[in-house]
Amino acid sequence: MLLPRTRALLENADQLLADANAFGKSPAGTVTVAALPSMMTILAPALYTRVRAHAPGIKFRIFEGFSDQVERWLADGTVDIGLLSRYRAPKAGQDEALFTAPLVLIRAAKAPPMPETVPFEALRGLPLVLPSHPNGLRVLLEETARKARVALDVRIEADSLGAQRELVRQCGCYSVVATHALDGIGGDRSLVGSRITQPDLLRYAIAATTQQRPLSRASRVVLQAIRGFWPDTAVSSLSELARSLETAKRSDVR
């Protein structure tokens, strides 16, 4: 019973001493950041460039994982800062939403064409590849399906975004992802998507911090840098996010 509280007291004391010793100096130390794979590929280089320009003493440790993994890492103190997803609007005073992204139904480019927007009803009968429970996206889709009385045909459960994409690309399956997870940095256009409407479904990108210890000065600098990257409105693609981060990176280099 006492052990977690004792650890917290010792960590608080260590952090207080470190902050006192670093007073008046540039923030330094290692900051551990975890994020979704679809976000980390564009976040890591831009974050490194921005922080290095202002606080070269800060070093990074990077983790990738789905939201439930990121939450576990935050809960046990493995990471300092986590970027994860929610599928309901955060309440005031709780999680901090960085940006929102519409959900799209994705298919192989060679599959039968679909319009740019499709109603949720269009998922009926399609062979779907979805993450397993308790993934938030899976929960949202099943709740929406029950309300709309749409039977979902989940053929494969895959907790890897790469596996989901390959199954869609090669096996004639369909999946649901946020828009910024659809297109790759390399310009891969083998997958296409249609935004889901009736109802509109959104993913909220959330910034969270561990509660196991106070954030160091270095961690607070990194968190502020992350907050400054993202657009204020819903994004339409990974490319749009990449442009936002590239603009921030270039401004820091100058």
CA dihedral (239, 240, 241, 242) positive or negative: positive
Answer yes or no: do 36 and 112 share one domain. no
**C-beta of residue 166 within 8 angstroms of C-beta of residue 141:** no
User: Rounded to whole angstroms, what are the CA distances from 1 to 7, 63, 210?
Assistant: 11, 30, 20
Rounded to the nearest integer, the mean pLDDT of the chain is 83
Q: What is the DSSP string of 138-198?
A: HHHHHHHHHHHT---EEEEE---HHHHHHHHHHHS-BEEEEGGGTS-TT---SEEEEEEET
Please give the model's pTM, rounded to 2 decimal places. 0.71
Confidence tier at 97 by pLDDT (50, 70, 90): confident
Give the residue among 218, 217, 243 at the shortest CA–CA distance from 230: 243
Mean pLDDT within 144-158: 96
Q: What is the pLDDT of residues 170-224, one digit of tens each?
A: 999 999 998 867 654 345 678 899 999 999 999 888 889 998 888 888 999 999 8
Question: In terms of pLDDT, which residue wins out, 68 or 115?
Answer: 115
Give the residue among 159, 199, 198, 187 at the shortest CA–CA distance from 175: 159
Question: In terms of pLDDT, which residue wins out, 139 or 26?
Answer: 139
| Cα(22)–Cα(28) distance, integer angstroms | 8
At 42, list the tokens.
């564009």
Q: Is the pLDDT of residue 254 over 50?
A: no
Mean pLDDT within 63-91: 88
Answer yes or no: do 93 and 210 share one domain. yes
Q: What is the pLDDT of residues 58-69, one digit of tens each?
A: 999 999 988 888
pLDDT of residue 16: 72
pLDDT of residue 186: 44
Task: Indicate the number of domains in the chain.
Answer: 2
pLDDT of residue 160: 84
Answer yes or no: do 114 and 199 share one domain. yes
Range of the domain at 93: 2-99+205-253
pLDDT of residue 216: 87
Say which CATH number the domain at 105 has. 3.40.190.290
Answer yes or no: do 119 and 237 share one domain. no
Last residue in a domain, options 167, 184, 203: 203
Answer yes or no: do 198 and 105 share one domain. yes
Answer yes or no: do 186 and 239 share one domain. no
**C-beta of residue 139 within 8 angstroms of C-beta of residue 224:** no
Last residue in a domain, options 161, 180, 203: 203
Answer yes or no: do 93 and 106 share one domain. no
Find all residues with CB under 8 Å of 197, minimum gap 6, and list them: 117, 118, 119, 120
**C-beta of residue 253 within 8 angstroms of C-beta of residue 55:** no
Q: What is the pLDDT of residues 23-45, one digit of tens each?
A: 667 788 899 999 988 788 778 88
Answer yes or no: do 13 and 50 share one domain. yes
Last residue in a domain, options 161, 185, 203: 203
Among left, alpha and beta (phi > 0; psi -120 to 50; other), residue 172 is left
- Among the listed ranges 46-55, 130-139, 233-242, which one has the minimum average pLDDT value? 233-242
Answer yes or no: do 74 and 42 share one domain. yes
Answer yes or no: do 92 and 116 share one domain. no
- Among the listed ranges 15-24, 143-152, 155-164, 217-226, which one has the minimum average pLDDT value? 15-24
Answer yes or no: do 24 and 147 share one domain. no
Backbone angles phi and psi of 148, in degrees to 5: -90, -5
Say which CATH number the domain at 53 has. 3.40.190.10
CA dihedral (33, 193, 196, 140) positive or negative: negative
Q: Is the pLDDT of residue 245 over 60?
A: no
Find all residues with CB under 8 Å of 76, minimum gap 6, and list them: 212
Q: Tell me the three state secondary structure of residue 21.
A: helix
Answer yes or no: do 15 and 129 share one domain. no
